[in-house]
């Protein structure tokens, strides 16, 4: 009996020590197990966008410093911020965004903090990224959140997280799973920019709405966003494939 108690005590001691080691070195293990079980897309990353060559009838257009090709019947809009095709009932809108000017408008014109719509504070998200050793954009942390979720976020990222960092991770895990229900996404990376292509299948869209957001290499201040309505998937991909910076 005494020997059995001794063995039982040794086993219990080993289990307690093992649990302590796990708690110290992998405090996020319970969260890891939970998200692996709950979210089937948790470890998926954005695939590479396969370029599609422009057709022989395509023309070149330049909009706000961005060159692209589209079928010959597409015409520049009078506003100068896009192109459209009446025959295809399709259109493309391009926005060139300067972060410094954009966020100055929040203070001077809108007068409110954009982070009020998030579950946690900007500092909480910054702490989360700092804990993971991820460099953030000094102008737009929300961009880091969006593209990190889709491009590099996986379950193992939470293993060494503690306290509120784990709560932030759990929120992002839920957001990633929801995004996979709403859109397809691809990544383009070349010498000029890194970009993300989105094809929407939610909110009444059936794959005819596209977005393309891209960031010039070595430039943390500017980004470009394209929104395109195009019912022909091949033409949409041809246009996106042709995009270059001047």
pLDDT single digits (tens) 125-134 = 999 999 999 9
Higher pLDDT, 244 or 5: 244
The tokens of 185 are what? Answer: 């996404």
pLDDT score of 106: 58
pTM assigned to the model:
0.84
> 134, 94, 40: which is closest to 240 by C-alpha?
94
Phi and psi, residue 219, nearest 5°: -125, 110
Model confidence band, residue 3 (pLDDT cutoffs 50, 70, 90): very low
2 has a pLDDT exceeding 50: no
pLDDT, mean over the chain: 86
Q: How far apart are CA 81 and CA 226, in angstroms?
A: 10
What is the rounded CA–CA span in Å between residue 246 and residue 229?
24
What is the pLDDT, as a whole number, of residue 206? Answer: 82
Does residue 115 register a pLDDT over 80? no
pLDDT band with cut points at 50, 70 and 90 for residue 34: very high
pLDDT confidence band for 76 (50 / 70 / 90): very high
Segment 12-32, tens digit of pLDDT: 454 445 444 555 556 788 999
pLDDT in tens, 158-213: 999 999 999 999 999 999 999 999 999 999 999 999 999 999 987 777 889 999 99
Write down the residue that tokens 């990633």 correspond to: 176
SS3 content of the chain, % helix, strand, coil (to 5): 45, 25, 35
**Least confident span in 135-139, 186-190, 232-236:** 135-139
**What is the pLDDT, as a whole number, of residue 18?**
46
């Amino acid at each position: 009996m005494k020997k059995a108690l001794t063995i039982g005590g040794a086993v219990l001691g080993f289990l307690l020590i093992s649990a302590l080691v796990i708690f110290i070195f992998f405090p996020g293990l319970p969260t890891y197990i939970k998200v692996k079980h709950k979210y089937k897309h948790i470890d998926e990353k954005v695939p590479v966008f396969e370029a599609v060559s422009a057709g022989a009838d395509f023309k070149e257009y330049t909009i706000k410093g961005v060159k692209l090709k589209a079928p010959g019947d597409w015409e520049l809009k009078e506003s100068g911020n896009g192109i459209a095709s009446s025959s295809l009932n399709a259109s493309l809108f391009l926005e060139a965004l300067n972060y410094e000017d954009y966020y100055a408008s929040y203070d001077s014109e809108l007068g409110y903090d954009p982070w009020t719509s998030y579950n946690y504070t900007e500092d909480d998200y910054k702490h989360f990224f700092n804990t993971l050793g991820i460099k953030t954009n000094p102008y737009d942390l929300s961009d880091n959140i969006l593209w990190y979720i889709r491009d590099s976020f996986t379950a193992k990222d939470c293993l060494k997280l503690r306290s509120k960092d784990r709560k932030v991770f759990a929120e992002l895990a839920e957001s990633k799973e929801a995004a996979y229900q709403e859109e397809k996404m691809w990544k383009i990376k070349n010498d000029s920019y890194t970009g993300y292509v989105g094809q929407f299948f939610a909110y009444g869209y059936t794959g005819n709405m596209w977005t393309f957001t891209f960031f010039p290499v070595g430039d943390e201040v500017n980004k470009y966003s394209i929104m395109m309505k195009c019912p022909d998937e091949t033409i949409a991909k041809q246009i996106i494939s042709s995009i270059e910076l001047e």
